[in-house]
């Protein structure tokens, strides 16, 4: 498939895909005419990249971890990096949950106050 189709399948921009290639996150089969060609497996790969990005990983981190994330093979050094990122994500989750709970408390308080007939503040 060509870059436009891959982009629309995954829901990402063409520019982003070229950027991923520039960052060595994604390879394309160089067609003779100079147009990029991708296998179907590229869809999964791009989705994985997106997932890691949204988890707060940088391009540099992803490019280091991607091979072993796909193959499952990992050196002890990479295992450290994986654990480190896992820890980061874990910490982020817990602070996010705290924040969510805080917002929840406000929301429910406001809701009960409203249903209790208290006038809407201005």
Partner DNA sequence: CTAAAACCTGACGTTGACGTCAGAGGCAAG
Partner DNA sequence: CTTGCCTCTGACGTCAACGTCAGGTTTTAG
Residues 83-122 that bind a copy of itself (CB under 8 A): 83, 85-86, 89-90, 92-93, 95-100, 102-104, 106-107, 109-111, 120-122
Q: Do 34 and 40 touch, CB atoms closer than 8 A? A: no
58 lies in the site for DNA, by CB under 7 A: yes
Q: Do 53 and 17 touch, CB atoms closer than 8 A? A: no
51 lies in the site for DNA, by CB under 7 A: no
State the Cα–Cα distance between residues 14 and 4, nearest whole angstrom: 6
69 lies in the site for a copy of itself, by CB under 8 A: yes
Distances (CA, A) of 54 to 47, 68, 107: 10, 19, 26
Q: Which residues contact 74 (CB under 8 A, 6 or more apart)?
A: 68, 82
Please report, as ranges, the residues that interact with a copy of itself according to CB under 8 A: 51-52, 54-55, 68-69, 72-76, 79, 82-83, 85-86, 89-90, 92-93, 95-100, 102-104, 106-107, 109-111, 120-122
Q: Which positions lie near DNA, rule CB under 7 A? A: 2-5, 7, 12-16, 18-19, 23, 28, 31, 33-36, 53, 57-60
């Amino acid at each position: 498939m060509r870059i436009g189709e891959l982009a629309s399948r995954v829901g990402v921009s063409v520019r982003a895909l070229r950027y991923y290639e520039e960052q060595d996150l994604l390879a394309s089969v160089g067609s003779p005419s100079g147009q990029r060609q991708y296998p179907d497996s590229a869809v999964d790969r791009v989705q994985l990249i997106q997932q890691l990005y949204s988890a707060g990983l940088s391009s540099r981190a992803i490019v280091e971890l991607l091979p072993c994330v796909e193959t499952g093979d990992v050196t002890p050094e990479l295992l450290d990096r994986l654990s480190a990122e896992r820890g980061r994500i874990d910490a982020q989750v817990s602070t996010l949950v705290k924040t969510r709970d805080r917002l929840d408390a406000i929301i429910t308080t406001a809701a009960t106050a409203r249903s209790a007939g208290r006038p809407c503040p201005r």
